[in-house]
Structure 1
């Protein structure tokens, strides 16, 4: 199946738009702030989840894959998007879930059940093995014909899909910002800017949404197997609010205010932390006056359900 055919079949609205927003905290510093609205690609398969899954799904279709297995938490945007894709493409889907939600499924898990996914709940110790060769070998022996997709969809195939975000850009930017959890989106942006732009003219800043200084950098570096892009990007670790899916009243209030000012929905797990960090960094003078900043809205609002 060709890329265009898959995009049409799943009704993905690419390219996503670039929208200039003017919240009071950006305008007073002379910053031009644009949002790449990947959250509008599709009502279910939104944002970076589609970008990271696109070429893996194409390869699965070409190989006549009948079963896909992947990993995530009870509110995983990745599993939600992948489960919907598998349902639409008539591919059996198994979701390996961190923690036991069997007595109280989250809205995301209820959707997976409605899409006839097979859900396996595992304890945290087992889940920690999700990238270990022995555990993956065991799964492959248990399901010999299945395709295993990593947590968050972050694999080498993901980089090509995410890099297309940069190819779509209709303007030049001094900074590109995105949230960071499994590393695939940031690695794809780094790849795209290296391929389609002059890297020295555009700095890439990831905002960590979980505790992982050093760990997140290693995830990104491991995906960047072909080139050394060490000078073109960095990750800020000051705005994870205590860890993955951790939040507080300040962040929740910010998400509400941001929606009121811009009309753009964000949530406290990924996009909320990105834009909160952006406000704080702008107010601290991190970006030079008149900087042109692009913030990638990676979609996925499961954290707000």
Structure 2
């Protein structure tokens, strides 16, 4: 087995903005599972790596943007466990100045240092990444490979994410998760106890995630999405969110990333302040990692003359 079965620690949150509220907030520190393959990426890659080995593949191909947590994690996993990894990266203009990109983009720099080979494609071509013609072109160029989808989400990824919750976690009433491609929340939904519910916080705008999640779950009765805290969509951020992330880390010692967990915790805290949850509710927020993205976001924030994430 490449990635071992692990259960992460749980930390109760004491935060000034919700002091006196009669609910309890806990965070499951999935970000501590592995130094580089952290959080939900650990869970999503676990069974995919096993399947790649079972099928006797030596090359993995996967997809992502230039600051993708998944790209960094896939590179680290391939490096650690002996797979050649090809990263299909959105943005063919990056290939023309790769040396400069690797200086200023910490995600791609990390992936390159862990032997990931890049295939830069245009944004229009990237939108066709799941088409048979696009996949065939990759096969013609790279030979046989095991394909890991963008964000890592497939049935095997959901299976891995079903292992996030354990029997001990049945004491919590509401489980909260940030959402990118929908794999993590699908696994959580499938492993819930009857008395529990999942509340998801999408990082992207739009209602398409409902249908993505329904591909992998058996019920629609014990989960819901709150789209009020995307801050304008994927990768968008505000000074208010930055200041919140820094304050939360200062008071709790828990770092949050600006794309996923920062927005989720901001939303949870805001809902607690608005008395959205009944008294005595025990909330468990899943920390899905993604902390590698902080350096990349900070480089963008500096250019915009905004505060950076501490």
Aligned to 1:140: 139
Q: Does 1:289 align with 2:289?
A: no
Most deviating of 178-187 and 137-146: 137-146
Answer yes or no: is the 8 Å Cα contact 2:31–2:287 preserved in 1. Answer: yes
Aligned to 1:41: 33
> Which of 261, 264, 271 is the equivalent residue of 1:271?
261
Structure-1 separation of matches of 2:274 and 2:126: 39
Most deviating of 105-114 and 255-264: 105-114
Provide the secondary structure at the position in 2 that maps to 1:94.
strand
> Which of 83, 86, 106 is the equivalent residue of 1:91?
83
What are the superposed Cα offsets for residues 63-92 of structure 1, whole Å, 9 maximum, x if unpaired? 221100000111111111111110111111
Q: Does 1:108 align with 2:107?
A: yes
Answer yes or no: is the 8 Å Cα contact 1:163–1:188 preserved in 2. Answer: yes
Structure-2 separation of matches of 1:145 and 1:207: 37
Most deviating of 156-165 and 167-176: 167-176
Q: How does 1:126-205 map to 2 (within 5 A)?
A: 126-167=125-166, 169-193=168-192, 197-198=193-194, 201-205=195-199
Answer yes or no: is the 8 Å Cα contact 1:15–1:168 preserved in 2. Answer: no
Q: What is the aligned length?
A: 288
Structure-1 separation of matches of 2:171 and 2:136: 45
5+ long unaligned stretches in structure 2: 296-310
Structure-2 separation of matches of 1:270 and 1:169: 25
Provide the secondary structure at the position in 2 that maps to 1:68.
strand
Give the CA deviation at 1:220.
0.9
CA RMSD, Structure 1 to Structure 2 (Å) = 1.5
Structure-1 separation of matches of 2:154 and 2:83: 20
Name the CA shift for 1:108/1:169 in 2 (closer, same or farther; >3 Å): farther
Answer yes or no: is the 8 Å Cα contact 1:29–1:290 preserved in 2. Answer: no
Provide the secondary structure at the position in 2 that maps to 1:278.
helix
5+ long unaligned stretches in structure 1: none
Q: Does 1:216 align with 2:212?
A: no
> Which of 12, 17, 40 is the equivalent residue of 2:9?
17
Q: How does 1:120-131 map to 2 (within 5 A)?
A: 120-131=119-130
Structure-2 separation of matches of 1:44 and 1:178: 20
Aligned to 2:245: 255
What are the superposed Cα offsets for residues 233-262 of structure 1, whole Å, 9 maximum, x if unpaired? 111111111111100100000000000110
Give the CA deviation at 1:171.
4.7
Structure-1 separation of matches of 2:89 and 2:175: 32
Structure-1 separation of matches of 2:235 and 2:168: 30
Answer yes or no: is the 8 Å Cα contact 1:26–1:33 preserved in 2. Answer: no
What are the superposed Cα offsets for residues 152-206 of structure 1, whole Å, 9 maximum, x if unpaired? 100000111111111264451110000011010011111111xxx22xx111111
- Normalized against structure 1, the TM-score is what? 0.90
Give the CA deviation at 1:148.
0.8
> Which of 60, 65, 70 is the equivalent residue of 2:57?
65
Aligned to 2:72: 80
- Normalized against structure 2, the TM-score is what? 0.89
Structure-1 separation of matches of 2:226 and 2:123: 27
